[in-house]
Chains A and B, each alone.
Chain A
Amino acid sequence: MSSEKTTVLIVEDEPEFRMRFKQIVESEPTLELVGVAASKREAQELIDRSKFDVMLIDLGLPDGNGTDLIRQVSAKRPDVDIMVVTVFGDEQHVVSAIEAGATGYILKDSTAADVVSCIRLLRAGGSPVSPVVARSVLRAIRNRMGGAGGTPRSGASPDNNPLSARETEILQLLAKGMSFNEIGEILGISPHTVTAHIKKIYRKLAVHSRGEAVYEATQMGLLRG
C-alpha cells in the first residue's frame, strides 16, 4: 500500500447515501475525506479550493446536472479520478458521464467493500466496467462511425473510431460477461492491463467526445476560430 492516503470528495444530494459514502471513506484507513457537497454550488466551491484524488459524484443534483462538473474537473485536473454514482439500469447516463470525463462508476447500493475496491482499482490505473456499460460504449462508438454494422477494426474509419483493435476486442469480451481475469487469460495479458485498457478507452472516449463537441459547436457557429 502506498504511504499517501487517497483524498476523496463526495458530491451527493441524498442525505442517506451521502452519510453512507462518508462513513465508508472515513472507516477506510487508506482513504481521506476532503469534503462533502450536497449541491452543484457547494461542490463548485469545494472543487475550487481543495485538492483531491477522487471525486464521487451523483449526476442528478438539485441545482443542475453533475455532468458539467465532471467535464470541468476532468479538463482542469486530468489526474483526478471521477467516479459516477448511479442507479442500476442507467447505463446511458454512465456512458455520457464517461464521455464527459468520468473513469469509473459505482452503484448507489454497493457494499462498502465494493466502493473501496473500486476506488483502489481507479487509483491503480484501472476502470471498472459492467457488460451492459461495455455494450453501451461499443454502441456509442459504432453510432459515431455512422451507425453501420461491423466490428470496429483498426482499418475501418480511423478518424471516427478512436479505439484500437485490442481495445475493441476487450470491450466485446466484457460485453459477453467475461471478467478481467478471463479476458486477460484469453489475450495473454494481466487482468491489471485489461483494466488499464478500460481506463484508456474511457479517456479516449472523453477526449474524442470533447473534440467532437468542439467540432459540432464550430459547425453550428457557436465558436469562432
Chain B
Amino acid sequence: MRTLRALLALLAAAAALILSVPASATTLRAVDWTPTEIGAAPAEDAQWQSYDLPLRWSARPGEALRGLTLRLRTTLEAPPTQAWAMLLSHASTGGRVSVNGRMVGEIRAADASTEVRWRRPHLLAIDPELLVAGENTILIQTAYRGGVHYLAGVEVGPLAGVSRDYELRYFASTILPWIGGTLAACLTLLFALLWLRRHDPTIALVALASAFWVLRSAYFLVETVPVGAVIWLDLLYYVASGGFAVVITLVLLRLAGRTGGRAAWMPTLYAAVGPALLVATGGHATPHLDLLWVPGLIGMVALALAYALLSRVRKHESLQIVVITAITVAIAAAVYDYGASQGWLPEATMLALNWAGPLLLAALATPVVDRFVRVLREAEGARGDLESRVREREQMLKRNYERLREGERLQATAAERQRIMQDMHDGLGTQLVSSLMLVERGALTQAQVAQILRESIDDMRLAIDALAQGNSDLLASLGNLRYRMEPRFRAAGIELIWDARDMPEELNINPDHVLPILRIVQESLTNALKHSSARAVSVALQVTQVGDEEPLLQIRVTDNGKGIAGERVGGRGLMNMRSRANKIGGTLALESVAGAGTRVKFTYGLSDFHTGLTRTPTQLGLNTEAIIERFREGGG
C-alpha cells in the first residue's frame, strides 16, 4: 500500500507539471503549407493551404525526399523590448527558420543520406528588432520522406516564459526516456544477476520487461538516423513494444495462476507478427502495423488483465493489487498515446507511456523485493527461534544433569548406608549375638565377658575409623588402629614395631576397601597378641612398583612367636581374612615356621594410586629396642 501511495503522489506531481502553461507566451493555432524545392524558398505565387495546429501529416513509406515550407503568423501590438523567443515543441522534420525574412535558426532536416525524427523541443531566440507591430511571419523550410510527421506546440513570447515551457518539454521528451532507460538498465542488470543465482520465472520476467524497456527508450532517444537504418530503428521499436507487451501478459497470466509454457505461445506469436511483417515488407507495412498491430498489443495485455482480475478476484494481496494497478495505468497510457498518435485525441506534452513504463517496472519488482525481505525476516525469526530452543534445551540438560547428580548422591548415600549395615551385622552384630548366647548359658567368666565387650568396642572403633572420617586415607586409619592396639601390646609385654616411613604422606584408596584392610590387619595383630607368644610383632607398610605396572601396597605382619601349627593354617579366622582380601582384589599369604614365627603378607593393587602429597621418606634405620630402652629410662 505504501508503494501505491508513493505512485499516486508521483503521478499527481507529474500532472501538476504538465498543466502549468506559461501565461505570457502565445500559442500559435494555425499554419500554412506549401510544397517547395528542397532547400528553396517558396515562390511568390505559391499556393498556401491552411491547417490547424497541431499538424500531423504523413507520406507512404519509401517515398522520396520532398521539400516543404510552413508559414506561421503572429500579431504584435508593439515591437517587444525584452528578449523574444520561439518554441518548437515538436517539429519532427526540423528545418531552417526565419522571421520576417531573416533567418533565426536552423534545425537539422532530412537530407539525401539522413532521416530526422526530432522529439526534443527547439528554442530559437528572436532579435526583438526583427519584430514589428502588427503581423509577423515565420517560415520553416524543411523536407520529409515517408512516415508520420508533426508540427505541434509552437509558442512565441518573451524568452523567460517560453524557456520555462521549453525546459518542461525537454524533460518530458528527452530526460524522461533517459531516466526510464537507465532505471530499466539497472533493473535488467540486477534481476539478470539474480536470475543467474536463482532460476525463478518471476525474476526472469522482471529482467526481460526491463530489457525491452531499455530498447524502447533507446528508440525514443535516437533522433537522427541514416536513411538505410530507418527500418532497423522501426524494428527495434516493434520488438521492444511487442516483447514488453508479451512479458506483461505473461506476468498477468501468472497472477491468474497460468504458469504453463503453453500460455506463453499465443502472445509471443502475436507479438512476433509485427516485426516479421515489418521486415517482410521492407518497412512498407509500418502505417498498417501502427494502426492495427500496436493496438492489438494493448488489447492483448488488456485481455490478460481482465482474465487475471476475474480469476484472482477473491485474493486481495496488496502486492498483486500494486502490479495490477500499475498495468492498468500503463494500458490507459498506451491507449492514450495510441489515440494521440492517430490524431484522435489531443496530443499531450509527452508520451504517457514514458511515465507509466518505469512505474510499471518498479511495481513488477516489488513482489520480488517483498519476497526477499519476507524470506530474510523468516530466516532471522527462525534463527531467533533456534537460539531460544537451544537455550531451553541447555536448561533442560542442566536440570537433567542436576537430577542425575542428585540421584547419584542419593545412591551413594544408600550404598554407604548398606555398607555400614552390612558391617555392623557381620562384625559387631554377630559377635554380640554369639556372646549373648554364651553369657545366657553361663559359659563365660566376668573376665571373658569384659574381653568380648572390649573386642566388640574395638570392632566398632575400627568401623568408625574407616567410615566416619569422611576421608579415604588408609594410613591414618591404620595408624589409629596401631595407636589403639599399642597399650594392649605393652600390657602383654610384646613390642609393636610399626614401619611406615617409606609410605607417602597420604594413601587414598577406594573408601569401600579401607575397613576390610583394617580388619585384616587387626585380625593379624589380635592373632599375634593372643596366640603367638611372640616377643615382638612388626608391621611393615610398603608401596612397590615395577616399571609401568600397577603399584602394589604390601602390609606384612610378622611375629617371632611359636608359629601356627599345620592344622590351624586353614582355620576359620584365616579363611575370613583371605576372603576379605579376595573381595577387594587383594591377596593374602601366610608363612609360618614352627618355633620361628608367622608372617601374614597382604598385597593390594593401587590401581588409581593417589598419594595426595609428596613422599617424604626418611633414610635413618630403626632400632626399636634402643628407643624402648631409652623411653623406659627417660619417661619412667
Give the interface of A toward B (CB within 8 A): 88-89, 91, 109, 111, 113-114, 124, 130-132, 134-135, 149-151, 169, 172-182, 184-188, 190-192
A135 closest partner in B (C-beta): B476
Is A188's CB under 8 angstroms from B479's CB?
no
Q: A131-B477, A180-B631, A181-B631 are in contact. List 11 more A-B contacts (CB 8 A).
A: A111-B487, A131-B480, A135-B476, A149-B613, A177-B478, A178-B500, A182-B498, A185-B624, A191-B627, A191-B631, A192-B634
Check: B203 CB closer than 8 A to any chain A CB.
no
Q: Chain B nearest CB: distance from A51 CB in Å?
A: 26
What chain A residues lie within 8 Å of B635 (beta carbons)? 124, 191-192
A195 closest partner in B (C-beta): B635
Docked Cα-Cα span, A111 to B475, in Å, equals 25
Check: B501 CB closer than 8 A to any chain A CB.
yes
Docked Cα-Cα span, A192 to B633, in Å, equals 11
Which of B163-171, B252-260, B440-448, B465-473 sits within the interface? B465-473
Is A177's CB under 8 angstroms from B479's CB?
yes
Given A109-B457, A178-B500, A169 and B616 contact (CB-CB distance below 8 Å): yes
Q: Chain A nearest CB: distance from B488 CB in Å?
A: 9
Partner of A172, one of B473, B496, B616, B631: B616
Given A88-B464, A188-B620, A175 and B479 contact (CB-CB distance below 8 Å): yes
Q: Chain A nearest CB: distance from B591 CB in Å?
A: 23
Partner of B620, one of A91, A131, A185: A185
Q: Which of B500-524 contact A (CB under 8 A)?
A: 500-501, 503, 505-506
Check: B73 CB closer than 8 A to any chain A CB.
no
Is A150's CB under 8 angstroms from B614's CB?
yes
Contact indicator per residue, chain B 593-636, by CB within 8 Å of chain A (1) or not (0): 00000000000000000001110101010111011101100110
Is A130's CB under 8 angstroms from B627's CB?
no
Is A130's CB under 8 angstroms from B503's CB?
no
Given A109-B457, A176-B505, A192-B635, A186 and B475 contact (CB-CB distance below 8 Å): no
Partner of A178, one of B477, B498, B634: B498
Q: Chain B nearest CB: distance from A133 CB in Å?
A: 9
Check: B461 CB closer than 8 A to any chain A CB.
yes
Is B505's CB under 8 angstroms from A175's CB?
yes
Please, could you name 17 A-B residue pairs with CB atoms under 8 Å apart, sorted by A?
A88-B461, A132-B480, A150-B613, A172-B505, A175-B476, A175-B479, A177-B479, A179-B482, A180-B631, A181-B631, A182-B497, A185-B627, A186-B501, A186-B620, A186-B622, A190-B630, A191-B630
Check: B290 CB closer than 8 A to any chain A CB.
no
What chain B residues lie within 8 Å of A111 (beta carbons)? 487
Docked Cα-Cα span, A175 to B499, in Å, equals 12
The 8 nearest A-B residue pairs measured at CB:
A177-B479, A131-B479, A181-B627, A89-B464, A176-B500, A89-B468, A135-B476, A185-B627
Docked Cα-Cα span, A175 to B612, in Å, equals 14
Q: Chain B nearest CB: distance from A123 CB in Å?
A: 12
B614 closest partner in A (C-beta): A151
Is A181's CB under 8 angstroms from B483's CB?
no
Check: B486 CB closer than 8 A to any chain A CB.
yes
Q: Chain A nearest CB: distance from B461 CB in Å?
A: 5
Q: Chain A nearest CB: distance from B86 CB in Å?
A: 103
Q: Chain A nearest CB: distance from B407 CB in Å?
A: 29
Docked Cα-Cα span, A211 to B487, in Å, equals 37
Is A151's CB under 8 angstroms from B505's CB?
yes
Is B482's CB under 8 angstroms from A131's CB?
yes
